[in-house]
């Protein structure tokens, strides 16, 4: 969904969103990043000219590769198998709760951002996150924790809403409204506006016509959305933007939605997974975000994407980041579960 990010990244892994080396695992969430951070400096620019020259050939090769791989792939999980995977992964996440009520990676203390992601995953799975208690509840842990940036605030609103703390979520939504700019942007830029819309819709507030117009203006020529104006599109922000626009009432047949889905398909690989940007290779979170975007638009993502995730599942119910890397399993699993449960954001 890489809602990957240092603004909402566990404190223990605050570092660049993605390793510099090709295909490396993320060291921090790529969904929320601090403005002007390393991700902005290290933006993965996709040369437009190269895409134009290779466009038709690449599309044909990708279609052929996907068709062949689909024919050779084992049967994808049935609905019952997916339900079992969701339940097992939710149990894995529930077991990562610490005595203070928060959640953390194995051997690490609780983190407010990671706790919020787990809360959202548990809600998507059908479990009541408010009922999770290990001496203290997630809501008790989150009480009083700071939210210094717009994206921190947006994630907190979503978590409190999932925890049925409606009054607290509504109060924070009022504060979020105060971050809306004359341009329609909420907070620092594109990413914070995307998640601002999702947070506002979660608590029943309108996205705002100026904010929807702002997001539509940020769509790039390739059909995708970037994390920040002026850098390349990526699959995670594109998938989140589609979910935000659909939550704001943009119809699934609208051209921006169709173009966004087309951009996502261009980043699906022969293994069935989706990649963050061209050439990086498939990963669990990018695949999960793409699945949610297709579902939000009323389109089937395809069984092959679910089959890719199934291959990354570990015996304890957690998910690898990719076939090559197993890192931050709580965070990765928390972002995979909503896709497995077929629940786009905002989770009702």
Q: What is the pTM of this model?
A: 0.81
Mean pLDDT, residues 200-212 = 98
Across the range 211-225, mean pLDDT stands at 98
Average pLDDT of span 185-199: 97
Q: Which two tokens stand for residue 333?
A: 């699993």
Please compute the mean of the pLDDT values over residues 293-302 and round it to a whole number. 97
Q: Express each pLDDT in 305-317 by its tens digit.
A: 999 999 999 999 9
Position with higher pLDDT, 227 vs 68: 227
Estimate to the nearest angstrom the gap between the alpha carbon of 9 and the chain centroid. 12
Q: Find out whether the peptide bond into 24 is cis, omega within 30 degrees of 0.
A: no
Sorting pLDDT into bands at 50, 70 and 90, what band is 2?
very low
Of 69, 71, 1, residue with least CA distance to 29: 1
Residue 46 has pLDDT above 50, yes or no: no
Average pLDDT over residues 259-278: 98
Please report which confidence band the pLDDT of residue 8 belongs to, taking 50, 70 and 90 as the band edges. Answer: very low
Tokens of residue 185, six digits: 């942007």
Q: Cβ distance 99 to 133 under 8 Å?
A: no
pLDDT given at position 34: 27
CB-CB contact of 286 with 235 (8 Å)? yes
**17 vs 257 pLDDT, higher one:** 257
Distances (CA, A) of 56 to 5, 27, 60, 264: 34, 34, 6, 16
Q: Where are the domains of the chain?
A: 11-340
The answer to whether the CB of 103 falls within 8 A of the CB of 93 is yes
Q: Distance (Å, rounded) from C-alpha 244 to C-alpha 182?
A: 19
User: What is the pLDDT at residue 38?
Assistant: 33
The predicted structure's pLDDT at residue 18: 33
Collapse the DSSP code of 268 into the 3-class scheme (helix H, G, I; strand E, B; otherwise coil) and give the result.
Answer: strand
Q: Are the C-beta atoms of 278 and 267 separated by less than 8 Å?
A: yes
Inform me whether the pLDDT recorded for 278 exceeds 90: yes
Helices 150-162 and 166-177 pack at an angle, to 10 degrees, of 160
Q: What is the mean pLDDT of the chain?
A: 84
* pLDDT > 50? residue 21: no
Confidence of residue 59 (pLDDT cuts 50, 70, 90): low
Cα distance between residue 186 and residue 201, in whole Å: 14
Tell me which CATH code domain 11-340 carries.
1.50.10.20
Mean pLDDT of 139-161: 96
Convert the pLDDT of each residue in 83-106 to its tens digit.
999 999 999 999 999 999 999 999
Residue-wise DSSP of 286-345: HHHHHHHHHHHTT----HHHHHHHHHHB-TTS-B-SSSS----HHHHHHHHHHHHTT-PS
Residue 78 has what pLDDT? 74
Judge whether 187 and 216 are in contact, CB under 8 Å. no
Rounded distance between C-alpha atoms, residue 14 and residue 218, angstroms: 27
Number of H helices, E strands in the chain: 14, 2
How confident is residue 279, by pLDDT bands cut at 50, 70 and 90?
A: very high
* Phi then psi dihedrals of residue 270, to 5 deg: -65, -20
Going by pLDDT thresholds of 50, 70 and 90, the confidence category of residue 61 is low
């Amino acid at each position: 969904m890489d809602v990957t990010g240092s603004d909402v990244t566990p404190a223990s892994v605050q570092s660049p969103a993605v390793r510099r080396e090709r295909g490396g695992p993320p060291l921090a969430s790529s969904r929320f990043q601090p403005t002007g951070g390393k991700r902005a400096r290290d933006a993965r620019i996709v040369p437009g000219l190269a895409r134009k020259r290779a466009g038709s050939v690449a599309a044909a090769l990708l279609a052929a590769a996907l068709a062949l791989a689909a024919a050779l792939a084992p049967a994808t999980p049935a609905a019952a198998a997916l339900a079992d995977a969701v339940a097992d992964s939710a149990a894995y996440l529930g077991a990562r709760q610490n005595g203070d009520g928060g959640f953390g990676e194995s051997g690490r203390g609780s983190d407010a951002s990671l706790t919020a992601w787990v809360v959202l995953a548990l809600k998507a799975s059908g479990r009541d996150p408010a009922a999770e208690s290990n001496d203290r509840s997630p809501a008790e842990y989150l009480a009083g924790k700071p939210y210094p940036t717009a994206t921190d605030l947006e994630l907190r609103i979503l978590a409190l809403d999932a925890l049925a703390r409606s009054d607290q979520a509504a109060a924070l939504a009022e504060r979020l409204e105060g971050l809306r700019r004359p341009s329609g942007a909420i907070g620092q830029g594109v990413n914070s506006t995307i998640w601002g819309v999702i947070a506002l819709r979660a608590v029943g507030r309108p996205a705002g016509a100026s904010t929807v117009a702002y997001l539509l203006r940020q769509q790039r020529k390739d059909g995708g959305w970037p994390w920040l104006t002026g850098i390349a599109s990526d699959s995670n922000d594109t998938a989140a933007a589609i979910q935000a626009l659909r939550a704001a009432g943009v119809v699934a047949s609208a051209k921006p939605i169709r173009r966004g889905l087309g951009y996502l398909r261009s980043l699906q690989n022969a293994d069935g997974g989706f990649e963050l940007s061209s050439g990086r290779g498939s990963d669990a979170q990018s695949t999960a975000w793409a699945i949610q975007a297709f579902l939000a638009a009323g389109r089937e993502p395809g069984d092959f994407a679910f089959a890719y995730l199934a291959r990354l599942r570990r015996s304890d119910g957690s998910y690898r980041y990719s076939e090559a890397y197993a890192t931050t399993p709580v965070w990765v699993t928390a972002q995979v579960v909503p896709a497995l449960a077929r629940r786009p954001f905002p989770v009702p």
